[in-house]
A and B are shown apart, each in its own frame.
Chain A
Amino acid sequence: MWSIVGLIIVAAVVVTIIFMMVFVFNVAGAVLSLIMRVIQSIGRTVLKLIADVTVAAVCVVKAVVLSMVAIGAMLLGRWPSAKRTGAKVRALFKRAGRRLSDLPTRAVSRAARTPAARRAESASTDDTDPFPGWRIVGELKAGGSGAQLFIAEPLPGNPHRVDRAVLKVFDLRAGSPLPQMVRESRALEGARKLGMVLEHRIDKRRFWYAMPFIPGDHLGKAIGNLHVDNAGLSGADMRTALCWCGDLLSTLGEYHAAGLWHKDIKPENIIVNHAGAHLVDIGLVTSLHSAMTLTTHGTEYFRDPELVRQAIKGTKVSDVDGSRFDIYSAGAVLYFMVEGTFPAHGSLSRFSAPCPSAVQWIIRRAMADYNQRYASVRDMAVDLQAVLSATAIEQVVPAHLPSVGNDVADKLAGVPGHGARLTPQRRPQAVEVGAPLVVSRTAGVVRGLWEVREAMLRARDDRRRSLAIDKAARKAAKRQRRSTQRQAFAAFVVGIVAIAGVALFINEFGEHDFAGTKPETVASIQSIEPVGAGNALVVNQIGADPAAGDALASQLTSWGWHPVRDAETEATFRRALPASGQGAADFEDRVRAAIKELRLDAAAFLHADESDSETAWVLVLTADDTHRMQLSTVQ
């Protein structure tokens, strides 16, 4: 028993050491990486300095030679040539002076420049100022458009009042595709209307524009955090997700009102932070009235199959309502939020996670056939708002949605003699979307009061929503942290168990030992005190506890025996014992033979109880009898 405890302790120590070594190596790796970066930066700076000095020296040499040429021309009276050469000499000296004058400043700034800034510089046409008014501070993962994305801060004098911006840079030299550059430049005008583009520049081989930087995670990651336990969304998480969808619909409403459609709505293009969800990436933004032919651009599973069909047919953008394709994508994104996975079967995709039936309805309506889905994002937003305004989202059913109410009422109006219709009594009390409207229509005086009340409620809802989003983000982070901790703890436990298991295995099968022998397997045991006289060998199986051996010796003395404690003799007896898992039929015979051979009178074995580590047992074998009894409590 004690040996197992000891093994476990050793295993724990080994695993702890391994964990500590991993930590130490990580830290050492980071430090080494930093040192290498510094060395790399210093090396690059020195090389650049050498290059600058060399260029300056060459300029001076060229200037000296040309000065002589100019003097010669003057002596020959060729004034125009002397003037031209003199101008070249001036330019060369100026260039050399410029190279040498701000050498220390440039060296320092170059060393301090981030790798992203250096990459941005390499993507620029002008070495001195790649992006006028902006300083590159970071880089983002490039998307599928072939553009580079940089994070930049405005320099003093920059008219744009933003903390940071994202610069999307297309460079033909860096492999950016020209059609994509043309497409994005076409989308610029519309995006500027929406305030999504701060400024843009274009030249012969490069095109870039600046957009406000929105910090946060993309929706895919945020939803992944909410679905970390694979149990679907519920309560506050569901409300948060619906709020994000509400933000998306609100932004889409602005797009469509401005005569544009986004065309590439997907979780990766939605950034989520404490202020809500923000739609980004204007790469495929298209005018709803464009005379161009539809293209199949977009992302599978979030793109309406009808769009592909129409594009194959060669339909023009202006011949369809592009906003409906955005509605489909919004429905697919909402499905993604609820299910944590993309809708692999389009409108026939099934729900496996818990989802209120009203939300299912909204998703299906948004992803329905082109002619049957919501006519506008506003209709979808109204339905979503009806769900959000309920105190218990789970209890909202399709019948409570404004669009269903209208549909059903209109439809039933055409059914003669049919009494079924949506009655106010059948709607739950929680949803009261229509009531304020009715009151405001019938009483003009009350309308003002209602509007004030609505504004207050909206403000309160916004506050709550903001709090809910913050709470959800904190909760998700906490959940993630806990999950990591759980995994680390599990790894720790598994490590200990594995090492202990290996140790036990070696202990069990590697060497012959008494530890695995059960006393009950010994035949003809008596529990009468083994009173006698003569020499009794003490075989202590509780090896880690010598005090127990002393206790046995003392006990043997009280029974009249003379205890013998000799390690070598004890080893002889151990060899006579049966191996772990083997029978003990001839155990007594072998022990008695050993007693006789060594001229002893008895052998006393001390062993611990397997089920109770605090109890010790004594097994005494004499020439005629075998006794087994509890000795004392081992401390």
Chain B
Amino acid sequence: MQHLTTTFVRRLRDRDEAAWFELWQVFGPVLRGTLMRWGNGRVGMETVRDLSQETLTSLSKSIDTFDPTRGVRFSTWLLAIARHALSDEMDRRMALKRNKGRKPVLLQDDWAADLAKTVDRDYERRVFEAKVEAAIRRAEADTEFVAFEVYRMRVLDGRSGKDVAEQMGVSQPTISRHLSTARAQLRLRLSETVSTWSFTQQEQQEAEEAGLGGDDALFDEALAEIWHAVARRTALLDPPCTEDAL
């Protein structure tokens, strides 16, 4: 178990609101997407938002008894909480229909082992991508603005070094220097983020398997690929802006 993981879990147990906000910000979209899929059209966007908040509330209740050393993946842990939240919501709805209550499903400790078998790869990939996006966000905050923008233009937007140099009005060696700075920060933040939100050895190795542990060229290529995959998925999931949405 990584030190960062235990630290983060401890922060959650200590009701550190900043830690909860971070968890909500990073994994909120994944939870919403998963709940939407499970809801299969029966729950609307507003309910999904409520449920994803409910998930985190349930999580805050179960965090005290949860033992991360039992070998359950972080993503599985999160998914189980979401499933219980959705299950409770469905029970509540059914109870309203029948005009009589049914005891909600209790959150127990032994759910995770069964659930681990049912977790699909798509969900796992999305959790991993959420971690990568969180790492990019943190790197963006900690890297000098110009350096990160250069990295964004060169690697994430796929422009040539010459084009970026012309855009920025600097020489290509300067662009390379900015790239190195941003990349170093990204590697650092990626390592931290993955460590924080990984309970198992398998989760720890996901970044390596995705090519994020290789040399600079491989790292850039893998990161850009994940970035574009996330973009494609969010373009499908994000609702178009409407007046009501505002």
Contact = CB atoms under 8 A, between A and B. Distances in A.
Interface of A: 220-221, 224, 266-268, 299, 305, 308-309, 312-313, 336, 340-342, 344-348, 350, 352, 357, 361, 364-365, 368-369, 372-373, 397-400, 404-405, 407-408, 411-412, 415, 418-423, 426-427
A404 B243 contact: no
A345 B29 CA distance: 10
A401 B238 CA distance: 32
Interface stretch (B5-13, B36-44, B164-172, B192-200): B164-172
B66 interface: no
B56 to A, nearest CB: 14
Contacts, number: 96
A399 B169 contact: yes
Nearest to B170: A420
Nearest to A421: B170
A408 B174 CA distance: 10
Interface of B: 17-18, 21, 25, 133, 136-137, 140-142, 144-146, 149, 152, 166-171, 173-174, 231, 234-235, 238, 240-241, 243, 245-246
Contacts of B146: 404, 407-408, 411
Interface of B is mostly: helix
A142 B192 CA distance: 46
A309 B141 contact: no
Contacts of B166: 397, 399
A368 B246 contact: no
A357 B153 CA distance: 10
26 contacts: A224-B243, A308-B21, A309-B21, A312-B17, A312-B18, A313-B17, A313-B18, A341-B238, A341-B241, A344-B238, A347-B140, A348-B133, A364-B149, A364-B152, A368-B145, A369-B141, A372-B145, A399-B169, A408-B146, A408-B168, A408-B170, A411-B146, A418-B171, A418-B173, A418-B174, A419-B171
A344 B238 CA distance: 8
B14 to A, nearest CB: 14
Contacts of B169: 397-400, 404-405, 408, 422-423, 426-427
Contacts of B152: 364
A493 B235 CA distance: 33
Contacts of A398: 149, 167-169
A409 to B, nearest CB: 10
Contacts of B142: 369
Contacts of A350: 231
Contacts of B145: 365, 368-369, 372-373, 407
A420 B171 contact: yes
B136 A309 contact: no
A409 B69 CA distance: 52
Nearest to B147: A411
A81 to B, nearest CB: 65
A209 B102 CA distance: 51
A19 to B, nearest CB: 28
Q: Which of B136, B152, B169, B245 has the most chain A CB atoms inside 10 A of its CB? A: B169
Q: State the 7 A-B residue pairs at the shortest beta-carbon distance, nearest first.
A: A399-B169, A420-B171, A341-B241, A369-B141, A372-B145, A312-B17, A397-B167
A220 B235 contact: no
Q: Which of A267, A347, A369, A400 has the most chain B CB atoms inside 10 A of its CB? A: A369
Given A267-B246, A347-B140, A312 B170 contact: no
Given A344-B234, A408-B170, A361 B246 contact: no
Contacts of A423: 169
Given A313-B18, A340-B241, A412-B174, A348 B136 contact: yes
A352 B167 CA distance: 19
Contact of A420 (B141, B144, B173, B234): B173
B21 A312 contact: yes
Contacts of B241: 336, 340-342
B246 A342 contact: yes
Contact of A345 (B167, B171, B234): B234
A423 B170 CA distance: 9
B121 to A, nearest CB: 24
Nearest to A352: B235
B240 A341 contact: yes
